[in-house]
Chain A
Amino acid sequence: MWVADQFYEILGTRFRVVFEDPTPAEYLGTMLAPFLLSERGARTVNTFCLAGGLEQDERGLGRDLYWDMRWLAWDETWQPLVNRVLQEINRRAVGGYQEFAAHAGVVGMADKVLALVAESGGGKSTLTAACLQAGFGYGSDESLCLRYHDAAVEIYPRPLGLSRWSREVLSIGHGTGFEGEAPVSAADLGAENLPGGRQLTDVVLLNVVEDSAPVLETLPRSRAIAELLAHSFNHFKNPAGAFDLVNRVARNVDVWKLTFSDPAAAAAELRASVETR
């Protein structure tokens, strides 16, 4: 019996998530709350079903995850399957996004909107989480989304994917029960989502160096063009439009290289920079 049946719209793609067990349903519902649709639809594509509950757990049957009626995964517990749902949703949402997107965390404070640019595994999510703890608003830990027509930032406040190391180094108690990466919401970190539609003001290139105090160095604005294109995952859909867009954005941003080892100290450095400008 399905106890939860929710519809979401993420970066223009619609999803439906159905659960038998209220515990993971509630957890995922909290994580995807920014994207919840008030109206229901008869979606038959992008539907994730998590079958199984406590009764199956006690009988050692575990849980099954289905996507559009196709079996996707099995596990003894619900946490890995919730993670899988979030990964699949992220992949499909970003893959279907028709505007410009680049690998970057997005945080903001006052009139500043910062893109934290790095490769996957380059410390984006951890620094983003540290920034939220330091008082920044949340845009995304995954993707800088920019509209082609007005270069405005579309926020993508998906749950932050934080490794055990990240949670420990930032003393984040949420995510217990998850073996590896755990989804953590901005609200869990005491932060609110940024309003959408604002212009990017800063591009911060992350440079993690062991035992380094945080140092923020200014770079030429032209670097923003190369970095945003190099870290984009969909500029090939519209190469000329993407170049024009990042050129427009680069004219109005400050570009920095942030060298650091301690994410909390780096977030404090960013906050101090924002507050003194």
Chain B
Amino acid sequence: MGYSGKIGPAAAHILEAEIDGDISLYDPHTEQVTVLNGTASDVWRVCDGEHSLGEIVDLLARAYGVEPRSIHDDVAAAISSFRDARLFSEESKP
């Protein structure tokens, strides 16, 4: 699934908890814990399978009041790390 498609949603077996704005994700299959900082948590929240990378960047840029291009690479890197950790459902939308 490339970045041109919709990003997410989380795989069904991924467990999620939020403390003080930081999201922690736990994969019981691999016993891997991923703790996201505040910014990465914001990215994760909009990886709901309804938005593409460009739309996610625009959403977050509006929320932060910054230019989309200034956060594009960081958002893409965060999404890439989510993919590497196999946190997304394999049934992403085209």
Name which residue of chain A comes closest to B22, CB basis: A222
Report the bound CA distance from A222 to B26 in whole Å. Answer: 12
* Given A225-B35, A240-B28: A247 and B20 interface contact (C-beta under 8 Å): no
What chain A residues lie within 8 Å of B31 (beta carbons)?
229, 235-236, 239
Report the bound CA distance from A235 to B28 in whole Å. Answer: 10
What chain B residues lie within 8 Å of A240 (beta carbons)?
15, 28
Inter-chain contact A243/B26, CB cutoff 8 Å: yes
Answer whether residue A198 sits at the interface, using C-beta atoms and an 8 A cutoff. Answer: no
Q: How many residues of A contact B (CB 8 A)?
A: 17
Total cross-chain contacts (CB, 8 A): 46
What chain B residues lie within 8 Å of A251 (beta carbons)?
19
Answer whether residue B17 sits at the interface, using C-beta atoms and an 8 A cutoff. Answer: yes
Q: Is the interface of A mostly helix, strand, loop or mixed?
A: helix
Partner of A222, one of B15, B20, B28: B20
Inter-chain contact A247/B17, CB cutoff 8 Å: yes
Inter-chain contact B19/A243, CB cutoff 8 Å: no
Report the bound CA distance from A96 to B24 in whole Å. Answer: 29
Chain A 217-248: CB-based contact to B (< 8 A → 1; otherwise 0): 00011110110011000011001100110010
Inter-chain contact B19/A250, CB cutoff 8 Å: yes
Inter-chain contact B33/A220, CB cutoff 8 Å: no
Partner of A230, one of B17, B22, B33, B37: B33
Inter-chain contact A243/B20, CB cutoff 8 Å: no
Inter-chain contact B22/A220, CB cutoff 8 Å: yes
Inter-chain contact A239/B26, CB cutoff 8 Å: yes
What chain B residues lie within 8 Å of A230 (beta carbons)?
33
Partner of B19, one of A221, A229, A235, A236: A221
* Given A229-B33, A235-B31: A220 and B26 interface contact (C-beta under 8 Å): no
Partner of A226, one of B24, B28, B37: B24
Report the bound CA distance from A220 to B19 in whole Å. Answer: 9
Inter-chain contact A243/B22, CB cutoff 8 Å: no
Report the bound CA distance from A24 to B26 in whole Å. Answer: 46
Report the bound CA distance from A239 to B31 in whole Å. Answer: 7
What chain B residues lie within 8 Å of A222 (beta carbons)?
19-20, 22-24, 35
Name which residue of chain A comes closest to B38, CB basis: A220
Report the bound CA distance from A225 to B17 in whole Å. Answer: 9
Nearest CB in chain A: distance from B23 CB, A:
8
Name which residue of chain B comes closest to A251, CB basis: B19
In chain B, residues 18-49, which have Cβ atoms closer than 8 Å to a Cβ of chain A?
19-20, 22-24, 26, 28, 31, 33, 35, 37
* Given A222-B19, A225-B19, A251-B19: A239 and B28 interface contact (C-beta under 8 Å): yes
Report the bound CA distance from A226 to B85 in whole Å. Answer: 15
Report the bound CA distance from A106 to B23 in whole Å. Answer: 27
Inter-chain contact B28/A247, CB cutoff 8 Å: no
Report the bound CA distance from A242 to B17 in whole Å. Answer: 12
Nearest CB in chain B: distance from A78 CB, A:
40
Name which residue of chain A comes closest to B36, CB basis: A222
Nearest CB in chain B: distance from A141 CB, A:
25
Q: What are 23 of the A-B contact pairs (CB < 8 Å)?
A: A220-B19, A220-B22, A222-B35, A225-B17, A225-B19, A225-B26, A225-B33, A226-B24, A226-B33, A226-B35, A229-B26, A229-B31, A230-B33, A235-B31, A236-B31, A239-B28, A240-B15, A240-B28, A243-B15, A243-B17, A243-B26, A247-B17, A247-B24
Q: Given A222-B19, A225-B26, A225-B35, list of 6 further CB < 8 A pairs?
A: A220-B35, A221-B20, A221-B22, A226-B35, A230-B33, A239-B26
